[in-house]
Structure 1
Amino acid sequence: MKIFREALTQGYGQTFSVNKMIFEHKTPHQHLVIFENERFARVMALDGIIQTTERDEFIYHEMLTHVPAFAHGNLQNALIIGGGDGGILRELVKHKTIQTITQVEIDQTVIDTCREYLPNHSHGAFDDPRLDLVIDDGMNFVSSTNRRFDLIISDCTDPVGPGEVLFSTSFYQACKDCLREGGIFVAQNGVPFFQPEELTQSSKKLQSLFTDSTFYGVAVPSYVGGIMTLAWATDNRSIRHITVDKLTMRFQESAIETHYYTPEVHLAAFSLPGYINRLISG
């Protein structure tokens, strides 16, 4: 049986049995593969690094979307950077207050491939009339657009190749400039047990720009190494300290069905282990 070996971290890696190779293609930006695995169902990798799996994607996508969405409480305009598999978009369209969703993805092939071979990720969300899909470099878009957003979600790859600029101070500054008053920026920020420098550097950059900047955690089985950190940044200090009662009210009124997210998990996610807090504080 063929084996897929991910080597994100020097000296350590994980392997997946490949029951069937579904798709393999070298796009203008990256090497994309989708294969079937008996434990995770269909798995997508870019440049040899696991990006998403059918079995556990709901954990990541729900937490990166619903934590800022329910904290804000009245999203009208949202921006997704990356997210070509459609999972973030699928969760965002569930929020009925949203009037427009702009998604900027650098690689059209990722979207087309995932719509065909990972259809449950987007679940038809690419056909939502509120969506404005832009094929462009995320950095180029945020540095040149006049649009303003209540929420920006950076669903990017790790800081190598096309994703490297999405961890830069200039990108964070441009995103801040695109936020409306009280808006929130969130982003995936790696697994700090294996990628501590990524967390420390992001923390320094975001703290220099935003009044309230921290991280919250989630454990996704296919992202090995324990807790993954998700960046949180806003100039509204109070929005992170919303009560569980208010979150529960918003969650119930939305009638959104989730498989991982709950108001209690929302608040608990900001309570991080000591080693992660020390990395955040530098």
Structure 2
Amino acid sequence: MNAFQEKLYEHHSQVFTMDADLYQARTKFQDVLIFENRLFGRVLVLDGVVQLTERDNHIYHEMIAHVPLMAHGAAKRVLIIGGGDGGTLKEVLKHPVERVVLVEIDDDVIELSKRFFPQVSDGAFEDRRVTLVIRDGVEYVTQAEAKFDAVIVDSTDPIGPGEQLFTTAFYERCRNLLRPGGMIALQSGAPFYNPEQLDSVCSRLARSFHAVRPFLAPVPTYAGGMLALVAGGEDHKALRPPIKALREQFDRLRPNTGYYTPEIHRAAFTLAPAFTPAPKRLAKPERPPLPDQLVPLTILSKINESLR
């Protein structure tokens, strides 16, 4: 039986059976592999890294879209950088937005997603409120004059085409495109395997946004099953509104979500995406580790401070 092995992190990999090989080629920017797996359905792989599956993509898309838009409460204009599969776009369009601009560098990803994963976008690209721009995301935010209520960076990991979307300069340009009260949301990888990336993203965002808070999305097909997302805005409390306000807005929208709820919105920020490293081996195995040997990563202190 054929199998695909993802080797994103050193000393760890995950394997998917390839029950059917559907597509394999290289676009102008990246290698693309699409195959069928009996558990997760169709799987999209870019440059050797799993991007989405039919079974669990909605968790990621709902969390990266609904958290900033529900927190904002009145977003009318939204900018999506990346997201060529259309899943985040579909979720954004469940809100009463007036215009959504989606900027994708690789138009082949859009066409392949429409062909092999039509239910992910579910016709979102044809919505009259959508403007599709095939362009480098950094170039767009540098030259754009339009203002937005929310910016969602639905990018790959900081390798290949996605690398330039994780810089301080890029975040500052995104901030300049936001209206007062505007928010940003982006993904920051699996924090268990790469805590330095999350720490770096939070630190860089904090140079442009007064409030920066990471939150979790449990996506089984991402390494470790826990994906770190990060939201930024003008106020910490605005990113995590009172449950009553979230419920009232959710009841008005009824956005037909499979995972996101107001309760999950607040809980995702409470479950801080920082993991205590295993204690070092001690000379005397019977001696238990002291509490101060289990100090979490530096980002946890920042998170705890923001939650006060």
Q: Quickly name the TM-score band, shorter chain normalised.
A: over 0.9
Tell me, yes or no, if the aligned pair for 1:2 and 1:19 is still in contact at 8 Å: yes
Whole-Å separation in 1 of the counterparts to 2:274 and 2:234: 26
Alignment of 1:1-282 (within 5 A): 1-96=1-96, 98-273=97-272, 275-276=274-275, 278-280=297-299, 281=301
Which amino acid in 1 is paired with 2:119?
A: N
Whole-Å separation in 2 of the counterparts to 1:241 and 1:8: 31
Tell me, yes or no, if the aligned pair for 2:232 and 2:239 is still in contact at 8 Å: no
Which amino acid in 1 is paired with 2:78?
A: A
Distance 1:279 1:223, change over 3 A: farther
What is the RMSD of the two structures over their aligned residues, measured on CA atoms?
A: 1.3
TM-score, length basis structure 1: 0.97
Which amino acid in 2 is paired with 1:120?
A: Q
Equivalent residue of 1:222, what SS?
Answer: coil
Equivalent residue of 2:181, what SS?
Answer: strand
Which amino acid in 2 is paired with 1:2?
A: N
Whole-Å separation in 2 of the counterparts to 1:151 and 1:169: 18
Equivalent residue of 2:179, what SS?
Answer: strand
Tell me, yes or no, if the aligned pair for 2:220 and 2:226 is still in contact at 8 Å: no
Residue 241 of structure 1 and its aligned partner are, at CA, apart by 3.7
Which amino acid in 2 is paired with 1:3?
A: A
Tell me, yes or no, if the aligned pair for 1:85 and 1:121 is still in contact at 8 Å: yes
1:62-94 Cα offsets, whole Å, 9 max, x none, are 111111111111110000000001100111111
Tell me, yes or no, if the aligned pair for 2:71 and 2:239 is still in contact at 8 Å: yes
1:179-199 Cα offsets, whole Å, 9 max, x none, are 111000000110111111111
Equivalent residue of 1:260, what SS?
Answer: coil
Equivalent residue of 1:172, what SS?
Answer: helix
Distance 1:143 1:43, change over 3 A: same
Residue 238 of structure 1 and its aligned partner are, at CA, apart by 3.5
Whole-Å separation in 2 of the counterparts to 1:35 and 1:279: 39
Segments of structure 1 that go 5 or more residues without pairing to the other structure are: none
Percent identity, please. 42
Tell me, yes or no, if the aligned pair for 1:85 and 1:110 is still in contact at 8 Å: yes
Whole-Å separation in 2 of the counterparts to 1:205 and 1:170: 9
Tell me, yes or no, if the aligned pair for 2:195 and 2:274 is still in contact at 8 Å: no
Whole-Å separation in 1 of the counterparts to 2:207 and 2:146: 23
Tell me, yes or no, if the aligned pair for 2:213 and 2:236 is still in contact at 8 Å: no
How many residue pairs get aligned? The number is: 281
Whole-Å separation in 1 of the counterparts to 2:167 and 2:37: 35
Distance 1:158 1:274, change over 3 A: closer
Whole-Å separation in 1 of the counterparts to 2:4 and 2:298: 31
Which amino acid in 1 is paired with 2:15?
A: T
Distance 1:215 1:135, change over 3 A: same
TM-score, length basis structure 2: 0.89
Residue 3 of structure 1 and its aligned partner are, at CA, apart by 0.7
Segments of structure 2 that go 5 or more residues without pairing to the other structure are: 276-295, 303-308
Structure 1 or 2, whichever has the larger Rg, is: 2
Whole-Å separation in 2 of the counterparts to 1:239 and 1:58: 24
Which amino acid in 2 is paired with 1:53?
A: T
Tell me, yes or no, if the aligned pair for 1:2 and 1:18 is still in contact at 8 Å: yes
Residue 274 of structure 1 and its aligned partner are, at CA, apart by 7.5
Farther-moved stretch of structure 1 (224-233 vs 253-262): 224-233
Which amino acid in 1 is paired with 2:164?
A: V
